Amino acid sequence: MNTTPNPPLLAVVGPTAIGKTALSIDLALALNGEIVSADSRQVYRGMDIGTAKPTASEQASVPHHLIDVVDPDQDFSLATYQDRAYATIADITMRQRIPLLVGGTGQYLAAVLQGWQIPRVAPQPELRARLEGEAALLGSEALHARLASIDPTAAQSILPTNLRRIIRALEVFEVTGQPISSQQTMTPPPYTIRTIQLTMPAEWLYQRIDARVDQMIAMGLLAEVQQLVAHGYAWELPAMSGLGYREFQPYLAGESSLTETIQRLKYDTHAYARRQPAWFRRLPNINVLPADTPDLMKHTLHLITTHLP
């Protein structure tokens, strides 16, 4: 019987602006590791400030993967991410280094750490256009109700306002004839997983988020958005409709002030941070640590190394 332990896969997760980047870089340096991004927005080139990508110096200090891999108008599905993440993790492991999966996108984290078996259904442009047209006419709630009638399990996990996920679930059903929820089984990956979840009281986290937004504005976020629009990237694209970019559409259309736009971005980021922990709770072998733990790095290292094979 083979008793060789599975190689390690570490994960650092937590809501936006809590300090994942700094901790993960310190861990990677201490453990001979490399970072695999689990952020659905950092995959896009040219979207740097609004996605809070690690800086050039941070990326130079430790190898980072799955950042800047597609243009904003290119399709990048959950299945594509999972495939690339597994290939990257396997490569890091083969080179006798430790992979650290770092980010706050719940679906990305769960797909990798839980081993989701994702339906490999290619995008259907005509079907998507038809469903988007129906949503424009009847509202996304009407499509959500249709999804609930054919796949109540999937509908329960998707907000009625999340049109992109609703359309994807309907698309999979129309192509395969099977509910997407029945095709999303799990096969855990062959790694010894240890997940570190950073937490912080909401009022402190909101202060950090607000400070980060102000810093993004000072760094030139508005100019970054204007440049993307000038390149012809439409607001309907998943990249442009994401947090940090969609908030600027009314401003650029002359429908709101910059002050109102900044405040909307702060509120939207607060709301996103409130939703993120619902995903983290389902991740395997999770250890919750307050982000303000004294000697956080030392405490995290001890927690991790006692469980490494």
* 75 token code pair: 């399709």
d(CA 90, CA 99) in angstroms, rounded, equals: 9
Alpha carbons within 13 angstroms on the beta-carbon side of residue 225 total 25
Considering just the CA atoms, what is the radius of gyration of the chain in Å? 20
- At residue 120, the pLDDT reads 81
pLDDT mean over 2-10: 82
- At residue 182, the pLDDT reads 83
d(CA 218, CA 69) in angstroms, rounded, equals: 26
pLDDT band at residue 3 using 50, 70 and 90 as cut-offs? low
**166 pairs with which residues across the strands?**
none
d(CA 35, CA 147) in angstroms, rounded, equals: 37
Q: Say if residue 127's pLDDT is above 80.
A: yes
pLDDT band at residue 169 using 50, 70 and 90 as cut-offs? very high
pLDDT tens sequence across 26-36: 999 999 999 99
d(CA 125, CA 77) in angstroms, rounded, equals: 14
Domains and CATH numbers, the chain: 8-118+186-305 (3.40.50.300), 125-183 (1.10.20.140)
pLDDT tens sequence across 225-246: 999 999 999 999 999 999 999 9
**263 vs 2, more confident:** 263
Unique residue bearing structure tokens 């910059």: 258
pLDDT band at residue 184 using 50, 70 and 90 as cut-offs? confident
pLDDT tens sequence across 97-108: 999 999 999 999
CB 11 within 8 A of CB 101: yes
Show the DSSP H helices in the chain as ranges. Answer: 20-31, 56-61, 78-94, 106-113, 125-138, 140-150, 152-157, 163-176, 202-219, 221-230, 249-252, 258-280, 296-305
Task: Supply the angle between the helices 163-176 and 125-138 in degrees, to the nearest 10.
Answer: 130
d(CA 242, CA 246) in angstroms, rounded, equals: 6
- DSSP for 56-97 reads HHHHHHS-EESSS-B-TTS---HHHHHHHHHHHHHHHHHTT-
